[in-house]
Amino acid sequence: MRIGFIGLGNMGAPMAKNLVAAGHEVWGHDLHAPMPEGVHGAISAAGAAKDADVVITMLPNGAILRTVAGEAIPAMKTGAVLCDCSTVDVESARAVADAAAKAGVLAVDAPVSGGVGGAAAGTLTFMAGGSDAAFAIVRPLFDVMGQKAVHCGASGAGQAAKICNNMILGVTMIATCEAFALADKLGLDRQKMFDVVSTSSGYSWTMNAYCPAPGVGPKSPADNDYKPGFAAELMLKDLRLSQQAAKAADADTPMGELAALLYETFVETEGGRGMDFSAMLPRFEKRHRG
């Protein structure tokens, strides 16, 4: 396929490189990042989108997505697919899909899980919203860039799945870190704590696969001074999106709301920016009740 790729930062660049390696012709555009090897440079979003079978975007937020989509969609050919892999608010995803439909363009919202490592290795998980026809066109590209793609439903469903998943992730990481900090104060060895919880009802991904305690369980960012695999500020972004969605849907999400407030404090006033989201553990280690 001929692919336009807009947004070639830490995630977009390795995704585009994997598409080039698979034999696709990729035309890229980014205001700041350099073109990855093998990607043809375009001077504008419209230039990257022109004549493309699929245009992929990987952008910071919904406002930027709306702006880029407004530039790219008019340049796209009828029947092409705009596939947004950013994590944005559900309303922006649906607004872009509506704009695409009016222009005779198909749209898929397909946020990813797996981080920079998954982007480089081609092992991302895609959560996709859009029509069956649009998903079918983009599916072969998901197979190149990732290991799993789930068609979650109509436009906006991919973003909904990502937001709900990451709300669980944020809440669970906080609970895991709280439990380790409590175990420390109770004199319980961290390895013993892991051995029990990882095989009991407290089992979770944050405990078993991404343990926040250094030297316990599989290697994780905790073993690398909490250098981010998934930065705390990105978790804060996703938790804020979850609460924006919850407000719009009139959903009661008290744990998600509290998790957003805790990560907001950690990132904005406690030096957590630039650290992994599992660095909540040393935060709780230093705190006292009350």
How far, in Å, CA of 230 to CA of 7, rounded? Answer: 19
In sequence order, the β-bridge partners of residue 128 are 151
Residue 254: exposure state from Cβ atoms within 10 A (0-12, 13-18, ≥19): exposed
- Three-state secondary-structure class, residue 186: coil
Instruction: Tell me which residue of 148, 278, 140, 144 sits closest to 217, measured CA to CA.
Output: 278
CB 78 within 8 A of CB 52: no
What is the residue whose two structure tokens read 């946020």?
Answer: 111
Report the number of secondary-structure helices (H) and strands (E) in the chain.
Answer: 12, 9
CA-nearest of 199, 184, 166 to 281 is: 184
Q: Are 76 and 49 in contact (CB under 8 A)?
A: yes
From CA 194, how far away is CA 197, in angstroms rounded?
5
Q: Annotated catalytic residue: which of 77, 162, 219, 286?
A: 162
The owner of tokens 């996709």 is 128
How far is 4 from 150, CA to CA, in rounded Å? 22
154: exposed, middle or buried (Cβ count in 10 Å: 0-12, 13-18, 19+): middle
SS3 147: strand
Strand partners for 3? 26, 54
Using a 10 angstrom Cβ sphere, with 0-12 exposed, 13-18 middle and 19 or more buried, the burial of residue 186 is: exposed
Q: Decide if 162 is catalytic.
A: yes
User: What residues are annotated to the active site?
Assistant: 162
